[in-house]
A and B are shown apart, each in its own frame.
Chain A
Amino acid sequence: MNATRFLFHTRSLRLPLLCVAGLRNKSLSSGPIPLHQFLSSDHCTRRCLCSKPVFRRDPSQSEESQNKPDKTLISYDNLFERAALDSKNKATFSHVLDVFKNKDIRRRGHVEFIYAALKKMPEFGVEQDLAIYNKLLDVFPKEVFIPRNFIQRMFNHYPRQQECGVQILEQMENYGVLPNVETKVLLIQIFGKKSHPIRKYQRLMYWFPRFKHVNPYPVPRELPQDPVDLARFSLHRIAADLNAKVTVYQMPSSDHNEDGNLVCQPYIVGIQSPDQREVLAKHRPNRPVFVEGPFPLWLKRTCVYYYVLRADPLPPEEKVEEPVDPERNFFYPLELELDYDRDLGDDEDFDVDEVEEGPVYAMCMTDSGDRDTLAKWISGLQETNPILGCTPTVFRLDSGPSEVQSCTVSDHPEIEDVLQGQKMAQ
């Protein structure tokens, strides 16, 4: 009896020694331990996000410090950082998710892991990827959180997990990702039919399709990469006239001149519609035309700048009302002189004076907004609008309403540079 007890005693003693020897072996091996071993070390307690530190032994420490329990801060963010050492893309992110899923069937600490993953998604560039969100939902253990009786249904069963599910869907909502059938099936398997995440999913699926096509001026998801194409698209957008024609006056190029210096030529893309050309032809040559800019135009998250060629409005004494040609339209008279005006009940105009603004003759977009480039644009326009040859052009650059002014507004000094058309033509 005593012998067996002694045997048991030594056997029980041997086990921790073996453990320590095992750790020693691990610690003596050089280099960082692979990810799956890192996760599977069984002396880790619950890990949390950076906000709540957890103390555990770092196995890569030296042998002497094994005897004193060492305290280092480890968090789930560290997993993603270690994965990010290779490259930050969808494959590494899903690898981290797979590693976590395969480590433990009970998925201990999955809520904190999912919150950390949601935070790291923009870094890995996967925040718009629906497959990754479905994979992240897959991390939840299935059928555990479904309430099984009326008491569980009453009392917000597993509130932390439900809140976590709602946060995943909220991140999808923020980035504009619409869930699909797989998401719905996963949510029902995990939380049941009447849970908060399913309600959130139902709200997404109700409101998102209603607001998808509400924009009367939609911007395509992928904007053209080529700057000339982007300029073409944005000029068509602001021209507000389907007859407007885009002309590329200069393509972007960078050449080396004789001295070996890099000379970059910015692109110049302009737009003008036939109506604008008509109005410009009637412009009086003694009044100057202004080149104003740069004005910002936002397309989703990118901002492009455009310049405008316009003139000041004529003072009221010089305005000439041209008689409307009755032969323009044979189907109905363009002007009617009646004895009675429209009654108040039929008057659909607003009782507001129209804002007096000069006509806009043309728009352009270019890379660099200096006077030389814009002068090249004017000379290009001159080919189709010969009146620009004898009209003084004034450059009012940096005078758009885009600048942010914290103190009282003062008009920026106009950069007046009167370029005679004849000099340009030479």
Chain B
Amino acid sequence: MFCVKNARLHPRTIWHFTSYGVLPIRCYRRPGVPPDNTPPWKKIDFNFSKGVQGIKKHFGLLKKEMFERFEGPQGRPMREIMLEQTRVVWEFRNQESLEQWVVSSDEEMGGKSKIYLRLSRNNQTALLYGNMCTEVPKDGETRYSGYCTLRSKQLLGAFNVKTHHDWSNFNTLYLRIRGDGRPWMMNIATETYFQHQKNDMYNYFLYTRGGPYWQDVKIPFSKFFLTSRGRIQDDQHPLWLDKINTLGFTLGDKADGPFHLEIDCIGVCNDRAHTEEFAYEKYKKNP
């Protein structure tokens, strides 16, 4: 019955339980924008037909989830899950595949970079293009600017329950891309338990060569380093592959001008020659 009105503008309020009471955790608020004090009941859109559609969709998903167990975990036969060496996670063959991704840029902070995502001409690849502008917004708080990101949406099951990607059988990320020579950064966000880890992300660089040929990129998961809010952390540990929430691409190379990145497919594979567990030292660095 209830639909959340325009979830992008009114994110779900998260409640932080402390010893001195219950506080709402607010998301980033642009300086100069007045705080959003609308009561939560106003944000729900009471629309009957949409409500019925929602019920149908969620019960359908629930039924599917209940019966797909009989075939195997996540509905795939056990033999496939045990033996597979490669898996294609995202491919861009139709418009629905673009619905799984979200683009954002520093326009949310007041910057002037623009980014767009569309299917390319032959309908077989996704094209991420835009214009980067490093002009710092004049709000007195922001010091650096100029970034554009593409991030996958969180997987949702029946009744919007968070589900995760499980890549524990694999150890390498495989991408087929065609860039313009700009260096990108890949971000993987995993499911965390504590609120302090909310902004934890595992990053690595993605260097494009440019040119008319496709580029196959294989990044082992052992190379990803832990960062939080853009700052690389001292205590590093390897990326855990069993509950991955989102994958993202960020461009922030401080060069003003247009950019484009064509992505054919994103998959994971098991590189048997790669035996490295973690590329960086795990010992305590601030004794």
Task: Chain A residues near B255: list those with CB within 8 A.
Answer: 298, 300-301
Docked CA distance A363–B210 (Å) = 12
Interface string of B182-220 (1 = CB under 8 A from A): 110000000000000000000001011111111000000
In the complex, the answer to whether B85 meets A404 with C-beta atoms within 8 Å is: no
Distance (whole angstroms) from the CB of B187 to the closest CB of chain A: 16
Task: Chain B residues near A348: list those with CB within 8 A.
Answer: 85-86, 269
In the complex, the answer to whether A350 meets B207 with C-beta atoms within 8 Å is: no
Considering only residues 83-122 of chain A, those with a C-beta below 8 Å from chain B are none
In the complex, the answer to whether B88 meets A404 with C-beta atoms within 8 Å is: no
Task: Chain A residues near B129: list those with CB within 8 A.
Answer: 401-402, 404
In the complex, the answer to whether A237 meets B210 with C-beta atoms within 8 Å is: yes
In the complex, the answer to whether B122 meets A298 with C-beta atoms within 8 Å is: no
Distance (whole angstroms) from the CB of B281 to the closest CB of chain A: 9
In the complex, the answer to whether B84 meets A216 with C-beta atoms within 8 Å is: no
Interface string of A382-407 (1 = CB under 8 A from B): 00000000000000000001111110
| Contact (A308, B260) CB under 8 Å given A207-B232, A296-B180 | no
Distance (whole angstroms) from the CB of A183 to the closest CB of chain B: 19
Docked CA distance A357–B169 (Å) = 33
Distance (whole angstroms) from the CB of B199 to the closest CB of chain A: 18
In the complex, the answer to whether A310 meets B86 with C-beta atoms within 8 Å is: no
Considering only residues 244-286 of chain B, those with a C-beta below 8 Å from chain A are 254-255, 257-260, 262, 264-265, 267, 269, 280, 285-286
Q: Point out which of B80, B212, B214, B269 has the most chain A C-beta atoms below 10 A from its C-beta.
A: B212
- How extensive is the interface on chain A, given as a class? 35 or more
Across the interface, B209 reaches (CB within 8 A) one of A214, A240, A296, namely A240
Across the interface, B210 reaches (CB within 8 A) one of A297, A349, A352, namely A297
Q: Is A345 an interface residue (CB 8 A)?
A: yes
Q: Is A263 an interface residue (CB 8 A)?
A: no
In the complex, the answer to whether A216 meets B213 with C-beta atoms within 8 Å is: no
In the complex, the answer to whether B127 meets A297 with C-beta atoms within 8 Å is: no
In the complex, the answer to whether B88 meets A351 with C-beta atoms within 8 Å is: yes
Q: Is B108 an interface residue (CB 8 A)?
A: no
In the complex, the answer to whether B285 meets A350 with C-beta atoms within 8 Å is: no
Docked CA distance A117–B234 (Å) = 30
Docked CA distance A409–B119 (Å) = 10
Interface string of A3-14 (1 = CB under 8 A from B): 000000000000
Task: Chain B residues near A353: list those with CB within 8 A.
Answer: 124
Task: Chain B residues near A351: list those with CB within 8 A.
Answer: 86, 88
In the complex, the answer to whether B86 meets A349 with C-beta atoms within 8 Å is: yes
Across the interface, A350 reaches (CB within 8 A) one of B88, B118, B280, namely B88
Task: Chain B residues near A310: list those with CB within 8 A.
Answer: 212
Q: Which residue of A lies closest to B270 (CB)?
A: A348
Across the interface, A403 reaches (CB within 8 A) one of B84, B182, B258, namely B258
In the complex, the answer to whether B211 meets A238 with C-beta atoms within 8 Å is: yes
Docked CA distance A199–B285 (Å) = 10
Task: Chain B residues near A360: list those with CB within 8 A.
Answer: 212-213
In the complex, the answer to whether A355 meets B264 with C-beta atoms within 8 Å is: yes
Distance (whole angstroms) from the CB of A273 to the closest CB of chain B: 11
Docked CA distance A297–B258 (Å) = 10
Q: Is A328 an interface residue (CB 8 A)?
A: no
Task: Chain B residues near A295: list those with CB within 8 A.
Answer: 180, 212
Interface size on B, residues (CB 8 A): 52
Considering only residues 208-242 of chain A, those with a C-beta below 8 Å from chain B are 210-211, 214-217, 219, 234, 237-240
Docked CA distance A348–B214 (Å) = 19
In the complex, the answer to whether A406 meets B114 with C-beta atoms within 8 Å is: yes
Task: Chain A residues near B149: list those with CB within 8 A.
Answer: none
Task: Chain B residues near A401: list those with CB within 8 A.
Answer: 120, 127, 129, 260, 262
Q: Is A346 an interface residue (CB 8 A)?
A: yes
Q: Is B167 an interface residue (CB 8 A)?
A: no
Distance (whole angstroms) from the CB of B148 to the closest CB of chain A: 12
Q: Is A303 an interface residue (CB 8 A)?
A: yes
Interface string of A332-357 (1 = CB under 8 A from B): 00000000000111111111110111
Q: Is A206 an interface residue (CB 8 A)?
A: yes
Q: Point out which of A214, A352, A357, A363 has the most chain B C-beta atoms below 10 A from its C-beta.
A: A352
In the complex, the answer to whether B209 meets A355 with C-beta atoms within 8 Å is: no
Task: Chain A residues near B262: list those with CB within 8 A.
Answer: 401
| Contact (A303, B88) CB under 8 Å given A355-B122, A363-B212 | no
In the complex, the answer to whether B211 meets A237 with C-beta atoms within 8 Å is: yes
In the complex, the answer to whether B207 meets A217 with C-beta atoms within 8 Å is: yes
| Contact (A199, B286) CB under 8 Å given A356-B122, A401-B120 | yes
Task: Chain A residues near B86: list those with CB within 8 A.
Answer: 347-351
In the complex, the answer to whether A344 meets B118 with C-beta atoms within 8 Å is: no
Docked CA distance A207–B231 (Å) = 12
Q: Is A299 an interface residue (CB 8 A)?
A: yes
Task: Chain A residues near B88: list those with CB within 8 A.
Answer: 350-352
Docked CA distance A409–B129 (Å) = 12
Across the interface, B264 reaches (CB within 8 A) one of A237, A343, A352, namely A352
In the complex, the answer to whether A402 meets B124 with C-beta atoms within 8 Å is: no
Docked CA distance A237–B208 (Å) = 11
Q: Is B130 an interface residue (CB 8 A)?
A: yes
| Contact (A355, B211) CB under 8 Å given A214-B205, A401-B260, A402-B258 | no
Q: Is A203 an interface residue (CB 8 A)?
A: yes
Q: Which residue of A lies closest to B211 (CB)?
A: A238
Q: Is B171 an interface residue (CB 8 A)?
A: no
Across the interface, B257 reaches (CB within 8 A) one of A210, A298, A346, namely A298
Q: Which residue of B lies closest to A309 (CB)?
A: B212
Q: What 6 new A-B contacts, CB under 8 Å, besides A310-B212, A363-B211? A: A217-B207, A297-B181, A402-B260, A404-B114, A404-B131, A405-B116
List 8 interface pairs A-B (beta carbons < 8 Å), by A numbering: A295-B180, A297-B181, A297-B211, A344-B83, A344-B84, A349-B86, A355-B125, A401-B127
8 nearest A-B pairs in the assembled complex, by CB-CB distance: A238-B211, A298-B181, A345-B83, A297-B210, A344-B83, A301-B255, A217-B209, A352-B265
